[in-house]
Amino acid sequence: MRQAVAIANSNVALAKYWGKRNESLNLPYTGSISITLAGLSTRARVRFGIERNHDRIVLNGEQAVNSPAYVIRQFLDHVRQAAGEKAAAELEIRSNFPVAAGLASSASTFAALALATTSALGLSLSPRELSALARRGSGSAARSIFGGYAEWLAGEADDGSDSYAVQLAAPEHWRLGVVVAITDLARKPVGSREGMAHALKKSPFFPAWLESHEADLAAVRQGILDRDLAVTGQAAERNCLKMHAASMAASPPLLYWKPATLAVMHRVLQLREEGTAAYFTIDAGPQVKIICPWPQRDTVAAAIREVPGVRSVLLSEPGGAAELVECA
Ligand code: DP6
């Protein structure tokens, strides 16, 4: 039996991936940039060559069914094909944060799976190759291979060979505080995959989202390289609002926000007026992630905890790359 265990962190996108030019290969229309989140991680244990015909996938203590099981099996088949392997696999995947509520569990899951599966099968992939592989499971996972700040290059090739992430900056380059406001723990009704496909087809604002993305991407990147929170933060807020505006304008509408989501956004704007540099972003769910200077994280977290409707607040910061913990 060959087995491996890998851990990867989740990430939060400051310039977002929202719209695919190729659905089966998870190829995006645009580049995206994220912070890899320390402490919000997924651990994947993979065993190949067990005495069974079918893969067994246990997700957070329960046998995976339906869409998650299907996507993970497809991913396994892809890795098996690359390795010339036929054996069934047993997978145990566990995340230490609320899954499927907009905290990007698919990103950390497929980054951990890319590393664990290829290590167990004796494939030695470069970080770039691992990133392209993780992308096949879930687009945002391409970025979670790297620590700190990662940029996923959209690429142009039809086969996706130039669509992978690179590290923009290490975690030590810029210690930002990331405050995560949990406003709702329910499983989101429309996942990212369906959400972006729907917005692409049904929103009259989608072309505007795509056209104006490049400028946000460039500003987020420059702000990170210069450690300029105002530049990165303003571009991230703008980009988030445009992604959500495009989705809300779809028919039928796609509205990820809860009342508490909006209340937190207002509180962040107010914090800025009071002199605290804090900026929000929201992925495909009701939670709000706030970036701020590291020394101000406690002030921001305390203010956000007071917002009516906020269930809990998590503290994070730029974290490390996906890591192989065990391989035998
Ligand atoms: C809003 O990576 O979950 O979080 O590629 O279909 O698995 P699939 O989508 P996924 O989408 C993430 C969307 C986002 C923005 C982002 O992370 O860039």
| Domains within the chain, CATH numbers bracketed | 2-171 (3.30.230.10), 176-316 (3.30.70.890)
Residue where the block lists tokens 């910061």: 317
> Ligand 1 centre and the CA of 155: distance in Å?
17
> Ligand 1 centre and the CA of 140: distance in Å?
5
Quickly list DSSP for 106-145. HHHHHHHHHHHHHHHTT----HHHHHHHHHHH-TTHHHHT
Q: Which of 30, 140, 213 to mutate to test ligand 1, by most ligand atoms within 8 A of the CB atom?
A: 140
Task: With CA atoms as reference, report the closest residue to 122 among 82, 166, 164, 171.
Answer: 82
Nearest CA to ligand 1 atom 6: 193
CB-based contact 180:268 (threshold 8 Å): no
Which run of H or of E encompasses 228?
A: none
Nearest CA to ligand 1 atom 7: 138
Instruction: Tell which atom from ligand 1 comes closest to the C-alpha of 32.
Output: 18
> Ligand 1 centre and the CA of 193: distance in Å?
7
Nearest CA to ligand 1 atom 14: 283
Which run of H or of E encompasses 181?
A: strand 176-182
- Which pair of tokens denotes residue 263? 């209340």
Question: Ligand 1: which residues within 6 Å by Cβ?
Answer: 13, 16-18, 26, 32, 104, 106, 138-140, 192-193, 283-284
Q: CA dist 168 to 4, 122, 223, 235, 255, Å?
A: 28, 28, 11, 17, 31
> Ligand 1 centre and the CA of 104: distance in Å?
7
Phi, psi of 20, rounded to the nearest 5 degrees:
-110, 140
CB-based contact 57:64 (threshold 8 Å): yes
Q: Which of 17, 113, 257 to mutate to test ligand 1, by most ligand atoms within 8 A of the CB atom?
A: 17
Ordered per-residue pLDDT tens for the chain, 328 residues = 699 999 999 999 999 999 999 999 999 999 999 999 999 999 999 999 877 778 999 999 999 988 889 999 999 999 999 999 999 999 999 999 866 455 668 999 999 999 999 999 999 999 999 999 999 999 999 999 999 999 999 999 999 999 999 999 999 999 999 999 999 887 767 989 999 999 999 999 999 999 999 999 999 999 999 999 999 999 999 999 999 999 999 999 999 999 999 999 999 999 999 999 999 999 999 999 999 999 999 999 999 999 999 999 999 999 999 999 989 8
CB-based contact 40:10 (threshold 8 Å): yes
Tell me the pTM: 0.96
